[in-house]
Amino acid sequence: MADEFIKGLGIFTAAGLGWMILAGWYRTPSFESQEQLVSPVSLGDSATMFDTLGVMLMDAFFWFTIIGALTFWVVIPVIRQAREKLQERAQ
Amino acid sequence: MTDENTSTDDVRADGSGIVAPDDETPTWRERKERTQGLSQLTYEYFERSRREDQDLRQESDYVERDVLAFPTWPHEIIRNLAIASFFVGMLLFLSATLPPHIGDPANPSSTPAIILPDWYLYWSFGLLKLGPLNPELSILGGQKLMSDRMYGVLANVVVVGFIAIVPFLNKGSARRPVEQPFWAAIGVGGVIFALTISVYSAKNLLPMNVNLAFDLTFLLPIVGGFITWAVLKTMREGYMYDLNRRYYRLRPPK
């Protein structure tokens, strides 16, 4: 169980850090604004391929943070418990 | 000190015999049986360092102390180096990757609408606003003895002075709040007062009646302290029962 927890926590913090940095570039108009990290993405005309890649990577990090942590903290333990229960019932 | 000599009054260097035997303390056999994953790793690390510590103590001619601890080098130093490296690396990483934030320069000719000190000084700022407590003395013909500003500064002295003398007032050896409900209540009241006086320091921004806010600033700490005292007093009976049961299990009455 502890191993699963640290895997989930590692994904949550590492991917969350990556998302935070990219959102600091693409979803933060100013560090004095009321909407930091969550304001809508606005890519100007001068956006290069790297900016497009960065926005894509930002979304990938975001969903990896949520789905990865949920997988190790919820889905895998649930599957294991269900399997144990099924085996108990079979015996 | 030799290994053959195992009389009872012999000083044991491995730390055994210091911890009181307890039903809940696992034996070394039980610990060795935890042969999986993290618990096994922890056991091996602990056992190896304990063994190293024991060997070092037996080889040296240093005076034996019955203190359970790890040597500073390498255990503590390596752990601290790891933690320090992590935070330095995080600083470098964030400063290298996040976009630089350089705000506009401050304009010295315009006063901002909201003036507040840093958040950890709100309590002191709130103490400067205790004007309503400054008494108007009839002996002075309804005048105040000192200005409200002076009164606020002296309030800071009083609060800091009270915090400074608390260790001299309570020299008890209590380790838990439940052992001394009264002093725990004083502490909780102080913490709540720090919060309420901090909120009161921004009274012009509060969406409530200023007089009510002023009353709550002093009433909430008393109420919170009283609730703490009552709860801890109630808990103490159960706590003492548990403590006594443990004690009599270790030393049964004759």
pLDDT at B101: 79
Is residue A19 one of the residues assigned to a domain?
Answer: yes
Asked if ipTM goes beyond 0.85, one says no
Answer whether A2's CB lies under 8 Å from B37's CB. Answer: yes
pLDDT, greater one: B142 or A12: A12
pLDDT at A51: 92
Residues in chain A with CB shorter than 8 Å from the CB of B94 are 21
Residues in chain B with CB shorter than 8 Å from the CB of A3 are 37-38
pLDDT at B2: 46
User: A30-44, B77-91, B133-147, B233-247: which has the highest mean pLDDT?
Assistant: B77-91
pLDDT at B247: 75
Q: What is the pLDDT of residues B66-125, one digit of tens each?
A: 666 777 888 889 999 999 999 999 999 999 999 887 778 888 898 888 888 999 999 999
Is residue A42 one of the residues assigned to a domain?
Answer: no
pLDDT at B253: 66
Domain limits, chain B = 28-97, 119-250
Cβ within 8 Å, pair B101-A31 = yes
Q: What is the pLDDT of residues B10-69, one digit of tens each?
A: 556 555 555 555 566 666 666 666 666 666 667 777 778 888 878 877 777 666 556 667
Is residue A34 one of the residues assigned to a domain?
Answer: no
CA B171: distance to chain centroid? 17
Q: What mean pLDDT do residues B176-185 have?
A: 88
Rounded to whole angstroms, the Cα distance separating B23 from B249 reads: 9
Exposed / middle / buried, residue B97 (Cβ in 10 Å: 0-12, 13-18, 19+): middle
Question: Which domain does A57 fall in, by range?
Answer: 2-29+48-90
Is residue A36 one of the residues assigned to a domain?
Answer: no
Residue type, A81: Q
Rounded to whole angstroms, the Cα distance separating B210 from B129 reads: 12
Closest partner CB to A24 (pick from B38, B98, B103): B98
pLDDT more than 90, % of chain A: 73
Closest C-alpha to B123, from B192, B187, B219, B195: B195
Answer whether A66's CB lies under 8 Å from A60's CB. Answer: no
| Domain count across chain A | 1
Is residue A75 one of the residues assigned to a domain?
Answer: yes
Q: Does A32 touch chain B (CB under 8 A)?
A: yes
Q: In this predicted structure, which of A25-34, A78-87, B238-247 has the lowest mean pLDDT?
A: B238-247
Rounded to whole angstroms, the Cα distance separating A47 from A49 reads: 7
Rounded to whole angstroms, the Cα distance separating B54 from B48 reads: 10
Helix-strand-coil percent breakdown of chain B, rounded to 5?
65, 0, 35
pLDDT, greater one: A73 or B63: A73
